[in-house]
Structure 1
Amino acid sequence: MDWQYLKDEVYFSDGSLRDIYVLDTLRSDWQKWIDFVNENYKIKFEYCDYDGNLKFDDKIISKPVFDFWDKKNDFTVNATINVGNIIVKCYFFTEEELENDIEPLEVKNIDQHDQIIEYLKSVSKILNKEVILTTENYSANYDVLVTVNNNHVLIK
């Protein structure tokens, strides 16, 4: 893969993030993803206890996430995952869609691109689902930049 092409077509600077999606997810998919990232990456997990106190952990804890989805609390949760030197953010917006965000300007070379692709491939394999990298706020009107199905990678 040519770095200049990737920089121009995937990691271009337009002021927006790139979104990583796995669509049609179930809670069991999320638990597999949580277990995977907890075992393989440096994590910073932010959540609130039931008294509203901000807490931090070095692993994602599924209970506060699931309780947020079940509307047992109003406290948002988020995780920062370090994929090499790239920060991947997860805000756990909805159970039906696994979404991560990356800042395209953090991907500065082919090695960092390869780290992101390895992350996408691993997630695809673990969940046995397609993973896509898109322009921010994906919808049918936005560009899919990268599609990953297990080891098969298609770049725009």
Structure 2
Amino acid sequence: MKWQQLRNSIYYLDGTLRDIYVQGTTKDDWLIWADFVNQNYKVSFNPVGTNLVEGKIDVNKAFENCFNSDEGECSIATVFLDDILVQIYFFSADEIENDITPVEINSIEDHNKLVNYMLGVSRALKKKVILTPDSQPENELISVYLDEVIVNV
């Protein structure tokens, strides 16, 4: 696959984010996901209501803080795929949602880093992982399940 084709079809620069979803999850899946990223990537975790930035994602603290927040705010985390920042929001136990900005995907190597992250998450959870346009989970740009990768260009 050629980089320019990926830029035009997947990582187009229209000012919007891309979402990474794992649907049909449980809190146990979140715990598995956190173990996977904590062991394999540099991460930062900012529990809501604090000025702390921690180097390990604590799912229990994330959900406790999110659901007990008077303002409806949730903790956020970042997974660093080198220069690609994957932002994580702890909105709901039944869906893992990550955001990336296509501005940070600038080569086939960057694309491969993102796909490898998605593969790792899929293998850890034994669930399908998809990349979509912002807030469009029905429009799969990339789907990954265990070792299978489908890129819709």
Structure 2 gap ranges (5+): none
Matching residue within 99, 102, 110 for 1:101:
99
Q: Give 1:57's aligned residue.
A: 54
Q: Give 2:24's aligned residue.
A: 24
Between the aligned residues of both structures, percent identity stands at 39
Residue 144 in 1 paired to residue 140 in 2?
A: yes
Q: Give 1:135's aligned residue.
A: 133
Shift of 1:139: 4.0
Matching residue within 117, 120, 125 for 1:119:
117
CA RMSD of aligned residues (A): 1.3
Structure 1 gap ranges (5+): none
1:28 maps to amino acid:
D
Q: Give 1:9's aligned residue.
A: 9
Superposition TM-score, scaled by structure 1 size: 0.91
Secondary structure of residue in 2 paired with 1:154: strand
Matched pairs, number: 150
Shift of 1:85: 1.4
1:153 and 1:139 map into 2 onto residues whose CA distance is 17
2:55 maps to amino acid:
D
Q: Give the alignment of 1:72-87 within 5 angstroms.
A: 72-74=68-70, 75-87=73-85
